[in-house]
Amino acid sequence: MSIEIKNLKHIYMPRTPYERLALDDVNLTIPQGKITAIAGHTGSGKSTLIQHLNGLLEPAEGQVLVDGVSVIGKKPENKKARRSVGMVFQYPEHQLFEETVAKDIAFGPRNYGCSEEDIQQRVKAAMDFVKLDYDTYKDRSPFQLSGGQMRRVAIAGVVALETPYLVLDEPTAGLDPVGREELMNGIVKLHKKKNNTVIMVSHSMDDIARFADHVIIMAHGRVLLEGTPAQVFSREDFIHQAGLEVPRVTAIVKALKAEGVAVATDVYNMEDAVKAIWQALAKKKAGGAGKC
């Protein structure tokens, strides 16, 4: 089972002078149990796309099926389909509202009708996932935490829903390097433990190369490119066409190659880049050919 997007079309402000086609015949299957990253420049349709995944936006044409059931509709099964997709928006800390951290995180599960015992367990587990100590933070006001901590509380609120699908819109934007690293590692850890399906919008090609199993590149409301990070980032022409960049280490090895060093360019993370450059320069020592 998975999320299937079929012939999806979305028009903002239809029949007005501002009418804009935001999604144009998008067809996708989000693979089950994997981490899928969606990238594209501002206005490419990423956020519009993910808001269709739990029925927040209704398509002009086409449909979104979660485990075979449409997310649009009033029947219990449609509602269930919507509820199986947890959504973390950009800057989710703007949506905190409760008096205490624990109450804020408990709001979702309580609304879903979980028992008090279950709720408490979920809150604890979710806080553990985002690395906020339960006893230290449960009674604190979410508004007196740092930006990074507020972000984690907000994400915990969605994690506590324990949905099989977790959608995150730029979860690390605005976080410091350690905060980014911790959050990404937390998402991966949760993913491995629960085997949930993660869908993540990201502007960081470095993060995508490191963490994603599957990458979707959007441009002008359409899917421009889809595949593994290696497949996608090997098409630099398409990547640039989408207004994106290849991972920084990839750019470095390509620049090195352009200078005449015989280095492998199919590297997308730090470890592989170190290996490739080391091998190339060791070879160079022995062979000695190269124009620079």
Of 22-30, 100-108, 171-179, 226-234: span binding another protein (CB under 8 A):
171-179
Sheet holding 69-70, edge to edge: 20-30, 3-12, 61-66, 69-70
- CB 33, min distance to another protein, A: 28
- Single-letter amino acid, residue 40: G
Q: Which residues contact 98 (CB under 8 A, 6 or more apart)?
A: 104, 107, 142
Q: Indicate which single residue of 155, 206, 217, 268 sits in contact with another protein (rule: CB under 8 A).
A: 206
Does 62 sit near another protein (CB under 8 A)?
A: no
The number of beta carbons lying within 10 Å of the beta carbon of residue 268 is 23
Does 264 sit near another protein (CB under 8 A)?
A: no
**Between 1 and 274, whose beta carbon lies closer to another protein?**
274
Sign of CA dihedral 264, 203, 36, 127: positive
Counting every residue written for the chain, the total comes to 292
Does 262 sit near another protein (CB under 8 A)?
A: no
Please give the Cα distance from 55 to 18 (Å, whole number).
Answer: 23
Q: For helices 116-129 and 177-194, what crossing angle results, to 10°?
A: 130
Q: Indicate which single residue of 155, 244, 265, 268 sits in contact with another protein (rule: CB under 8 A).
A: 244
- CB 167, min distance to another protein, A: 18
Q: Are 57 and 85 contacting, i.e. CB atoms less than 8 angstroms apart?
A: no
Residues 103-142 that bind another protein (CB under 8 A): none
Pattern of binders to another protein over 18-57, x per CB under 8 A?
x---------------------xxxx--------------
Q: Are 159 and 190 contacting, i.e. CB atoms less than 8 angstroms apart?
A: yes
Does 273 sit near another protein (CB under 8 A)?
A: yes
Binding site for another protein (CB under 8 A): 18, 40-43, 90-91, 144, 146-149, 170, 173-180, 203, 205-206, 243-245, 248-249, 251-252, 255-256, 259-261, 270, 273-274, 277-278, 281, 284-285, 288, 290, 292
